[in-house]
Structures are given as structure tokens and as C-alpha cells.
Amino acid sequence: MTFSTAFKQEKIELIGPGKLIVKELSLIYEVSNRAIYNWLKEFSKYSSTERIVIEKISEETKNIELRQQIRELGQL
């Protein structure tokens, strides 16, 4: 199946924090994960030398807590 450039760009805009993940988009539109990753590579506003990390808010909160604990231990 072939998709238009507009379709691909529209769908990759749905990926991100608080939005869909690749797997969900893949299931909804019946497109392979690999195809979506290719679209991201082709149309992403980020360069190929940058990494995009998507994490749940609960993970972010836990990371903040752990960094705080590390700072506190470093002060001992």
C-alpha cells in the first residue's frame, strides 16, 4: 500500500509526548512499525544526529527523584 506525503507527515505529527507511540499508530493505520520509523526519519524536524526520547510522566518523576537522591548522596 502506498501513502501520500501529506498522509505520512500528518501521521508522524501524532507521535510524541502525550500523543501516540509508533506501535499504536501502526495498529490504528495497519502500517508496519518499520514504515513509520522510515517516515519519522524522512519527515522529522530533528536531525539524524539527535535522539528523541519519549517517556511516561511517572518515569520522568522517578528520574527526578533519583537525581535528587544522587545529589544528596554526593553531599555526604
C-alpha cell read off for 19: 500523543
Please report the sign of the dihedral spanned by the C-alpha atoms of residue 56, residue 14, residue 9, residue 35: positive
**Contacts made by residues 29-35, CB under 8 angstroms, sequence distance 24+:** 31/1, 31/3
- For the stretch 7-54, pLDDT in tens is 999 998 888 777 888 999 999 999 999 999 999 888 877 666 766 666
In degrees, rounded to 5, the angle at the alpha carbon of residue 59 between the alpha carbons of residues 54 and 45 is 15
Query: Hey, where are the domains in the chain?
Result: 5-46+53-74
Q: Which three cell numbers stand for residue 58?
A: 511517572
The pLDDT, as a whole number, for residue 54 is: 66
Q: What is the pLDDT of residue 31?
A: 93
The whole-model pTM stands at 0.56
Residue 45: alpha-carbon gap to chain centroid? 13
